[in-house]
Structure 1
Amino acid sequence: MQVETNDYVELKHEILDGMRSYREDLAQDGADAGYGEAEIDECERILERFLASLRNAVADGERVPSRAALDRTARAAVEQTVRALNALNARCRYNLIETDQREGLCELIRSALAEIGALRGEDDPTEDWREW
């Protein structure tokens, strides 16, 4: 089962491009966004690890995981991703993840989970850990 579709790629790029645009707008005004390209790249790596963990959860090849096992794996991936994003955002003085990025990140996570059928019925699987 393919987790990273063109929709995920597009959404991920929109999130990262929004971070770049905000930083560039502030720089034009002589202000510091509190983060640079390295932090945006780190955010991308965090998202890539999340999507890879979901791909791995369903791509065993020999057996299909039970729904409970899939949900456990997915919940752990969400927690790890959200905690990593929290730490990154904190290092950036809470400026990296603004409203548009927060909404995009939540949508990406929900969509990826829905694609593999994990955590069905949860409106916001990031809620328990999200600080952004």
Structure 2
Amino acid sequence: MNLKENDKILKISKSLKKGMIEYIEPGESEYTASDVEKCMILINNFLDKVSKSESKESGMLLVKNVVLDLNNLNENCDYELIETGQREQIAEIIILAGHLKGYNDINEDITEEWRDW
């Protein structure tokens, strides 16, 4: 199961990236298109790894790691990269991926424990 190919995850990911890029105001934003790429790489790497995971325990460790990595990236961008809309989309991707693997309920926020954004 390649979660990056899931229609709903693809749609959310494209919207997330587009929204982050559109929000950049040259000279005024604390993040760049490069930071958006780093964010998308973190999410895509998570999706690759969780697609191959074989247990809830390993899946939840992947969730924790990607959330902590996203926390660090957002901190490096003065907390401007991941705003409310982006937070909801990123959490939805992670929650949906876990749900499709059978690791969590679709309404269970598995990011909240570690999330600073």
Indicate whether the TM-score tops 0.5: yes
- Whole-Å separation in 2 of the counterparts to 1:122 and 1:78: 16
Gaps of 5+ in 1: 58-64
Gaps of 5+ in 2: none
Deviations 1:59-92 (A, max 9, x none): xxxxxx4xxxx11011101001000000000000
Match of 2:58 in 1: 73
1:22 to 2:23 alignment: yes
1:34 to 2:19 alignment: no
Count of paired positions: 116
Amino acid at match of 1:3: L
The secondary structure found in structure 2 opposite 1:119 is coil
Q: Greater Rg, structure 1 or structure 2?
A: 1
Q: Is the 8 A contact 1:75 1:119 kept in 2?
A: no
Using the size of structure 1 for normalisation, the TM-score is 0.82
Alignment of 1:75-94 (within 5 A): 75-94=60-79
Match of 2:2 in 1: 2
Amino acid at match of 2:52: N
Runs of 4+ in 1 over 6 A off after TM superposition: none
Match of 2:41 in 1: 45
Using the size of structure 2 for normalisation, the TM-score is 0.92
The secondary structure found in structure 1 opposite 2:78 is coil
State the Cα RMSD in Å. 1.5
- Whole-Å separation in 2 of the counterparts to 1:9 and 1:120: 20
Q: Is the 8 A contact 2:20 2:36 kept in 1?
A: yes
- Whole-Å separation in 1 of the counterparts to 2:83 and 2:106: 26
